[in-house]
């Protein structure tokens, strides 16, 4: 890992200084060598302080000594001369840094708000890459650099963002899920496991080959796996709120069946949860017709050999980490009430278990969108892959209080009149017109956990350009 350079400028104000220190401190806690540079109001470097407390002599040349392998530059108040001086180092630092955006950093430092004339942009306070995604992408690039002479594969998309996946392909990382791949992995190959994990069977297959495995599975996903595995060992069926076709849910469900006698049932929404609850309440009087209808409805969402009359007698709730948190909690409560109506109160402790396994990053991003509602934005833009579950749920939340457009990338904004987007609750892209009328003066912006900052920054720049309010030097504090 190279050095992180954080610039603290007095003219940037307390908020910008705090942002730089917080970002640098967070990176330092993750093992990154970090250097703070104190800049006076005239833009002169006064001194640099390493977060270990090491003092550096005043003077830019001395401050930058030993920082030839810069990995990140945190510039809440970028200075033109400093940006130019560092440009060469940043360009050589690695592909991962292309995901950064000075514009996004500047808006964050300005209390997540940008105003010019009558147009105001509100940026959600939690958005974009979460720690698990950032770590997964970083590991993929590291694997490519660490093994330059070996084939490097991903089992599938590392995250649900086409921009990021295409950049990884451009680095020579191959995707086993691509049609052109035959899936033939050898012991000499390197295989990167995605942030949402792989099934137990796939992990066992790859391990048996003897290839080098780089596991980027998110810690929040591992936490769900732990609960599901424990449910199975204790004789509970895991009822998983998720999408049975989603890689994470498939991996989670496999943890249940890895235990002998373990079972699972996946429900995607309240409607399916209601069907399960109805069956639980009626199971006191088994009905072959109802059983057959239930198994047909959940044919692709249950474990092999699933018997509803038997396997719904003791259940434990879990969820795909990126689902809508309020819906997951509501489904858990629906199931608890159904079990309570079917069994005596003194049996409930042995019949029903539930743990909230929505990851904190997902929750934070959903809460941040809800906190934009009082600002009354005229419209919301949500940026992220169309197959990203957490991005879809951000869209669902925003759409409850303002017109909302879920776009896959900045290019989807064709003009101030035309936009390509996927409406909330749908699965197909559509084209809308008059999406940005002259009467729209406030815009909310957020992005899914798989969306890098550069995509967010480009989106904001594009929107601002339609009103002639893209005053980047002023926005970035450069005079």
What is the rounded CA–CA span in Å between residue 191 and residue 164? 17
What is the rounded CA–CA span in Å between residue 3 and residue 126? 25
What is the rounded CA–CA span in Å between residue 253 and residue 118? 51
Q: CATH for 95-129+359-479?
A: 3.40.1010.20
Q: CATH for 131-218?
A: 3.40.50.11270
Average confidence (pLDDT) per 10 residues, the chain, 479 residues: 43 39 48 50 43 37 39 36 30 52 88 89 94 90 92 92 90 90 88 94 94 92 94 97 95 97 97 96 84 96 96 96 90 96 95 86 93 97 94 96 97 96 95 96 96 92 78 47
The highest-level CATH class for domain 1-93 is alpha beta
Half-sphere exposure of 396 (CA within 13 A, CB side): 17
> Looking at 126, 202, 248, 458, which residue is catalytic?
248
What is the rounded CA–CA span in Å between residue 129 and residue 282? 45
Residue labelled with tokens 């890689």? 247
What sign for the dihedral angle of Cα 29, 33, 38, 39? negative
Burial class (CB within 10 angstroms; exposed 0-12, middle 13-18, buried 19+) of 468: exposed
Buried b (16+ CB within 10 A) or exposed e, 156-191: bbbbbbbbbbebbeeeebbbbeeeeeeeebeeebbb
What is the rounded CA–CA span in Å between residue 210 and residue 75? 43
Q: CATH for 228-358?
A: 3.40.1010.20
Q: What is the pLDDT of residue 174?
A: 94
Q: 10 Å Cβ neighbour count for 221?
A: 22
Q: What is the pLDDT of residue 118?
A: 87
Q: Is 102 an annotated catalytic residue? A: no
Q: What is the pLDDT of residue 467?
A: 81
Torsion angle defined by CA atoms of residues 371, 375, 376 and 382, in that order, rounded to the nearest 10 degrees: -50
Residue intervals in the chain for CATH 3.40.1010.20:
95-129+359-479, 228-358
**The token pair that represents 422 in the structure block:** 């996927």
Q: What DSSP letter does each residue of 247-266 carry, written as one string?
A: HHHHHHHHHHHTSTT--EEE
Using alpha carbons, list the distances in angstroms from residue 462 to 167, 453, 466.
22, 14, 7
């Amino acid at each position: 890992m190279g050095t992180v350079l954080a610039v603290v400028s007095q003219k940037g104000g307390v908020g910008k200084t705090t942002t730089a220190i917080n970002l640098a401190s967070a990176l330092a806690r993750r093992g990154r060598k970090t250097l703070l540079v104190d800049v006076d109001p005239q833009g002169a470097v006064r001194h640099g302080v390493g977060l270990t407390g090491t003092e550096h002599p005043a003077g830019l040349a001395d401050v930058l000594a030993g920082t030839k392998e810069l990995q990140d530059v945190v510039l809440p108040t970028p200075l033109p001369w400093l940006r130019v001086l560092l440009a060469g180092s940043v360009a050589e630092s690695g592909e991962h840094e292309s995901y950064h955006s000075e514009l996004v950093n500047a808006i964050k430092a300005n209390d997540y708000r940008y105003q010019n004339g009558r147009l105001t942009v509100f940026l959600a306070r939690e958005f974009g890459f979460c720690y698990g995604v950032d770590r997964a992408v970083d590991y993929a690039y590291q694997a490519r650099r660490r093994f330059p002479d070996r084939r490097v594969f991903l089992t599938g998309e590392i995250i649900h963002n086409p921009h990021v996946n295409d950049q990884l392909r451009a680095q020579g990382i191959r995707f086993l899920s691509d049609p052109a791949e035959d899936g033939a992995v050898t012991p000499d190959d390197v295989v990167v496991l995605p942030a949402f994990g792989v099934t137990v069977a796939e992990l066992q297959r790859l391990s048996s080959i003897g290839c080098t495995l780089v596991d980027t599975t998110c810690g929040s996903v591992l936490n769900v796996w732990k609960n599901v595995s424990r449910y199975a060992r204790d004789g509970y069926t895991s009822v998983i709120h998720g999408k049975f076709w989603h890689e994470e849910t498939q991996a989670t469900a496999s943890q249940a069946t890895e235990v002998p006698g373990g079972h699972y049932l996946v429900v995607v929404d309240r409607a399916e949860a209601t069907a399960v609850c109805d069956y639980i309440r009626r199971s006191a009087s088994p009905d072959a017709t109802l059983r057959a209808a239930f198994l047909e409805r959940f044919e692709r969402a249950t474990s092999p050999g699933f018997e509803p009359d038997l396997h719904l007698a003791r259940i434990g709730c879990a969820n795909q980490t990126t689902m809508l948190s309020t819906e997951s909690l509501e489904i858990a409560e629906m199931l608890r009430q159904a079990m309570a109506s079917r069994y005596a109160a003194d049996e409930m402790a042995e019949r029903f278990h539930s743990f909230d396994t929505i990851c904190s990053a997902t929750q934070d991003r959903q809460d941040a969108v809800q906190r934009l509602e009082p600002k009354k934005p005229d419209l919301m833009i949500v940026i992220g892959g169309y197959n990203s579950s957490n991005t879809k749920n951000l869209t669902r939340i925003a759409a409850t209080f303002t017109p909302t457009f879920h776009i896959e990338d900045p290019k989807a904004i064709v003009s101030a009149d035309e936009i390509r987007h996927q409406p909330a609750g749908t699965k197909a892209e559509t084209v809308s017109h008059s999406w940005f009328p002259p009467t729209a003066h406030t815009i909310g912006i957020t992005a899914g956990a798989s969306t890098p900052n550069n995509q967010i920054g480009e989106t904001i720049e594009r929107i601002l350009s339609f009103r002639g309010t893209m005053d980047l030097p002023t926005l970035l504090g450069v005079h």
